[in-house]
Amino acid sequence: MFVKNSWYVAGWSDEVGQQKPLARIMLGEHVVLFRKTDGSVAALEDRCAHRRMPLSLGRITDKDTLICPYHGLTYNSSGKCVHVPGQDAPGEIRIRSYPVEERAGMVWLWMGPPNKAEIDKMFDCSWLERPGWHTTRLYRHAKANYLLLNDNLADLLHVAYLHIPSGGGSEDMGSAEMDLKIQGDGFHFERKTNDIPAPAGYGRLSNAQQNIDRWHLLDYQGPSFYRVHTGVAEIGSGGPDSDLPVGFGRWDILPHHFITPETEDTVHYFQVVGHEWVPTSDSWTFLNNVIDEDVWAIEHQQTALCAEPDIPMQTIPSDGPLRAMRGIVENMLAVETQTQ
Ligand code: FES
Ligand SMILES: [Fe+2]
């Protein structure tokens, strides 16, 4: 089951053009996207009302319509059929359309009833649009239920072990000060480990000359959006507030994670990392290695869970944010069910 009443990322803005429709599966629904002549994006059910041909295999016209490739039924951007070959008037044939917004270089769809779409429910991306900031964007299609990716992002202990190969973490981070505050359908969580040797990747990118303070400041918004301020700074320089120059004792990033369930067993993982520094091939390789480690883990978990779904999982102290996230998602699902 998925929380429907939310904006989800369908794709990067530059994936949606005027020449070729884009097919995407979101929350188990087949969607087709195309860009209109005024530059805005239309999103429709990817299924012709006649014989269920995917409209994403069809053609966009200069009248902002989409023609089914099978027998030519033609739909406008609101999903209304405007032409049926061999029939004087198209009648009331209609397919579903989705509310669409573009923000921070991404196309977002409201997956619930259109009359419940509220723009202020979109995840805050303002840090990605700060003047002078740079971004690195990453995408992975993962063969795992989206909640396993949600778990991964809420569970920051994993950084100390899973990200050793990429140099993103070290076992020194196994113990940490932690603080969790639930806020409505989300939470703020802080995890800090002070005065440790820098994990290899952070040490190289920060050029720290002594032990560092390592932090994660995490904001979660249900059902599946995360913003993290994470980094290192030489000890005693202020941690997250350090004003050491980047690459001279400090290195930090603001990864934003946008999780769109595809099916019950697969997920679209969009990540946009905000940063003050100019991207380099080293930062690109580092960030890609980190995300690949996360995807590697959740895909193996998915395989194990599918093989033996009924074996219970043990809980440890660091699971607090993970359990909070699961509770928030369950609550959002329950509220939706009650108000349907
Ligand atoms: S299936 Fe689309 S027009 Fe026939
Ligand atoms: Fe991770």
Q: Does residue 73 have its Cβ closer than 6 Å to ligand 1?
A: yes
Task: State the pLDDT at residue 98.
Answer: 98
Average pLDDT over residues 115-142: 94
**What are the two backbone dihedrals, phi and then psi, of residue 233, each rounded to the nearest 5 degrees?**
-150, 145
Is the pLDDT at 46 greater than 80? The verdict is: yes
Nearest ligand to the CA of 56 is: 1
Cα 218 to ligand 2 centroid, rounded to whole Å: 13
Order of strands across the sheet that contains 106-110: 7-12, 106-110, 100-103
Protein residue with its CA nearest to atom 1 in ligand 1: 51
- Sequence-distant (≥ 6) Cβ neighbours of residue 322 within 8 angstroms: 151, 154, 155
Cα 332 to ligand 2 centroid, rounded to whole Å: 25
What's domain 7-120's architecture?
A: 3-layer Sandwich (2.102)
Give the chain's count of helices (H) and strands (E): 5, 17
Nearest ligand to the CA of 59 is: 1
pLDDT tens digits for 236-251?
Answer: 999 999 999 999 999 9
Checking DSSP bridges between strand 74-75 and strand 66-67, what pairing results, if any? Answer: antiparallel
For residue 310, the one-letter residue type is D
- Please report where in the chains the tokens 């809980």 appear, as a residue: 315
Residue ranges of the domains in the chain?
Answer: 7-120, 124-337
Which of the four pLDDT bands, split at 50, 70 and 90, describes residue 340? confident
Which of the four pLDDT bands, split at 50, 70 and 90, describes residue 22? very high
How far apart are alpha carbons 49 and 24 in whole angstroms? 18
The atom number, within ligand 1, closest to the CA of 73 reads 3
Task: State the pLDDT at residue 82.
Answer: 97
Task: State the pLDDT at residue 325.
Answer: 98
Nearest ligand to the CA of 85 is: 1
Which residue from 51, 57, 84 has its CB within 8 A of the most atoms of ligand 1, so it is best to mutate?
A: 51
Protein residue with its CA nearest to atom 4 in ligand 1: 71
How far apart are alpha carbons 170 and 289 in whole angstroms? 15
Task: State the pLDDT at residue 180.
Answer: 98
Protein residue with its CA nearest to atom 3 in ligand 1: 71
Query: Given this structure, which CATH class describes domain 124-337?
Result: alpha beta
How far apart are alpha carbons 227 and 179 in whole angstroms? 16
Strand ranges for 124-173 from DSSP E: 134-142
| Percent of the chain clearing pLDDT 70 (strictly above) | 100
Task: State the pLDDT at residue 171.
Answer: 96
Mean pLDDT over all residues of the chain? 96
Asked whether 256 and 125 are in contact (CB, 8 A), the reply is: yes
Which residue from 32, 56, 68 has its CB within 8 A of the most atoms of ligand 1, so it is best to mutate?
A: 68
Question: Among candidates 130, 127, 128, 58, which has minimal Cα distance to 95?
Answer: 58
- Please report where in the chains the tokens 């290195």 appear, as a residue: 251
Q: Does residue 55 have its Cβ closer than 6 Å to ligand 1?
A: no
Is the pLDDT at 167 greater than 90? The verdict is: yes
Is the pLDDT at 130 greater than 90? The verdict is: no
